[in-house]
Amino acid sequence: MGVGHPRWDRMGQDELAHDQTRRLRQFLARRVLPFSPLYRERFAAAGISAESIRTFDDIAKIPFTTKQDLLVTQENPEGPRRVILAPTAQTLKERLPKSELLGLLARKLVSGPEAAMAQVRREFAPCSMFFTTGRSAGAIPFMLTRYDHRLLSEGARRVVDVLGVDPAKDRILNLFPYAPHLAFWQTFFCGYETGTLTLNTGGGRVMPADRVLGALERLKPTLVVGMPGYFYHLLRIAVNEKRDLSSIRLIALGGENVAPGLKRKVTSMLASAGAPDVRVASVLGFTEARLCWTECVGERRTGFHTYPDFGLFEIINPDTGKPLPPGTTGELVYTCLDGRGSVVIRYRTGDIVEGGLRTEPCPGCGRTMPRLMSDIRRTSNVKSLDIGKVKGTLVNLNELSEAFAGDPEIEEWQLEIRKRNHDPYETDELVLYCALKPGTDEAGFRARIQTEVNERTEVRLNGIVVESVPALLTRVGMEERTKEERILDRRREVMEKIRGGTP
């Protein structure tokens, strides 16, 4: 059975806006408002209904959803349960559209009540779950049904199509950690649904680096997919050991922002390992959408190619919440247009998209779907620091992450934020731990990186500690954590000790 619009990537902008508005109105009327406790309550409180959404601009009438709505608190004990579409026999009878209800009753008469309920379970019963991986709050579960797996499968086919993968010729090496997280399973479905031979390694915690590299040489993959930090770690080992990487033509990196400098480092190292013409694409995905999107490789940084029939993206002013025009930097808001299980409407992601949403044809492949520009940054990485006599200096740690990841002389790194002398009443300090490439002039590096940090953030590093690569790998949790811990904020540890009465 087909899923989605047959011309999802080729619609004109007027047709697309009309189609998205119609899909949202129908989805709200038939599934979300009848069966989602949170949105039924929210729409009633706002005095709006599905029929209120007649034009694309009407979408702004819908209240925002935030991560706070999904957390279990005293005021919100149900937490993420409130966004699950969970019909009961009573609500089906009262709220299911009449045409569907008559079909269900006919099924009950012909095949019996068990067959009718089995039909409902196939559509609505959760059969798997993913968890968010953000460090700012506890992991939040998102439920998927068999219906959602069909959407995930179609999303996988689209990722393969946008990347230009040929199932008859290409082979995939999946480096994402084996876990109940979106990245691993989206990549798994890319191979499974398209018939592309894929080795799902499970990441460093399942297969150590030497086994992964051995498998890489035997499988000879053309596409390697994984986290930027872990892939760079493997690539460094492969280059040092003079492994043959000549089969690789495409790298897809996701799970965190991929700095242009890191892409340059990766392509340079691959060229030295026998793969001179490799293209590197960034992949975006977040659990709340249960889907991933990729750049095409026709041009550099073409933006993430979205699926306008499955989800609607807005860019808003993060301070006012007002929608912004195409091409404007702002916060990303996501709305499901199809799905079951856990469904979010106008969800504020907390991500800032530099350059916003673009609607003109992609310069790399000519597709006309909306594209999210490639530089996406977490607002939670803009931190207030008490440095010297300047209280509450805002420091964009995204800028520092990009600088360190793309620096040609840095092999591995971690930035630590701490209190001076571990005293909660003292000023904050920034300390860079790093491993340098062999032959680097350490004194020259220290002076240069201080200048670059100051130019990007108007603050200075309080310390630069040069360590070995193994020491840094241990610090960041390489092959141990789902995501490497690149920015370590230790200020909370000090405050918790004080609150607990520990000296």
CATH code at position 482 = 3.30.300.30
State the angle between helix axes of 228-240 and 209-219 in degrees (0 to 180), rounded to the nearest 10.
Answer: 80
> Based on the domain organization, do 194 and 288 belong to the same domain?
yes
Please spell the DSSP secondary structure of 193-262, one letter per residue.
Answer: HHT-EEEE---TTTS-HHHHHHHHHHH--SEEEE-HHHHHHHHHHHHHTT---TT--EEEEESS---HHH
> Based on the domain organization, do 150 and 288 belong to the same domain?
yes
> Based on the domain organization, do 148 and 274 belong to the same domain?
yes
Domain count, the chain: 2
Which of 137-141, 263-267, 300-304, 420-424 is least confident? 137-141
Does residue 502 carry a pLDDT above 60?
A: no
Beta-bridge partner residues of 313: 334
Residue 136 has a pLDDT of 46
If pLDDT is split at 50, 70 and 90, which confidence band does 137 have?
Answer: low
Distance CA 298, CA 114 (A): 52
If pLDDT is split at 50, 70 and 90, which confidence band does 242 have?
Answer: very high
Residue 500 has a pLDDT of 59
Among the candidates 244, 273, 294, a domain finishes at: 294
Bigger pLDDT: 25 vs 397: 25
Does residue 221 carry a pLDDT above 50?
A: yes
Arithmetic mean of pLDDT over the chain: 92
Q: Strand, helix or coil at 176?
A: coil
Please spell the DSSP secondary structure of 145-175, one letter per residue.
Answer: EHHHHHHHHHHHHHHHHHHT--TTT-EEEE-
> Based on the domain organization, do 245 and 384 belong to the same domain?
no
Residue 471 within a domain: yes
Residue 498 has a pLDDT of 61
Residue 149 within a domain: yes
What is the per-residue pLDDT across 375-390, written as a single tens digit (0 to 9) for each? 998 877 777 777 664 4
pTM for the model stands at 0.90
Among the candidates 238, 269, 294, a domain finishes at: 294
What is the per-residue pLDDT across 463-479, written as a single tens digit (0 to 9) for each? 999 999 999 999 999 98
Distance CA 276, CA 243 (A): 14
**Single-letter amino acid code for the residue at 153:** S
Residue 139 has a pLDDT of 87
Bigger pLDDT: 413 vs 480: 413
> Based on the domain organization, do 278 and 153 belong to the same domain?
yes
Residue 423 within a domain: yes
**Single-letter amino acid code for the residue at 274:** G
What is the per-residue pLDDT across 57-103, written as a single tens digit (0 to 9) for each? 999 999 999 999 999 999 999 999 999 999 998 999 999 988 899 99
Which of 19-33, 110-124, 280-294, 325-339 is least confident? 110-124
Does residue 249 carry a pLDDT above 90?
A: yes
> Based on the domain organization, do 251 and 386 belong to the same domain?
no
What does R_g of the chain's alpha carbons equal in angstroms?
A: 24
Bigger pLDDT: 119 vs 371: 371
Backbone CA torsion sign across 8, 12, 15, 17: positive
Residue 497 has a pLDDT of 67
The enclosing domain of 151 has a CATH number of 3.40.50.12780
Residue 473 within a domain: yes
> Based on the domain organization, do 407 and 276 belong to the same domain?
no
Does residue 270 carry a pLDDT above 50?
A: yes
Residue 311 within a domain: no
CB atoms within 10 A of CB 71: 14
Among the candidates 261, 294, 327, a domain finishes at: 294
Which of 22-31, 40-49, 297-306 is least confident? 297-306
> Based on the domain organization, do 145 and 285 belong to the same domain?
yes
Domain range spanning residue 461? 380-499
> Based on the domain organization, do 275 and 153 belong to the same domain?
yes
Residue 332 within a domain: no
Residue 407 within a domain: yes
What is the per-residue pLDDT across 145-184, written as a single tens digit (0 to 9) for each? 999 999 999 999 999 999 999 999 999 999 999 989 999 9
Instruction: Please compute the mean of the pLDDT values over residues 415-423 and round it to a whole number.
Output: 90
Residue 271 has a pLDDT of 95
Residue 335 within a domain: no
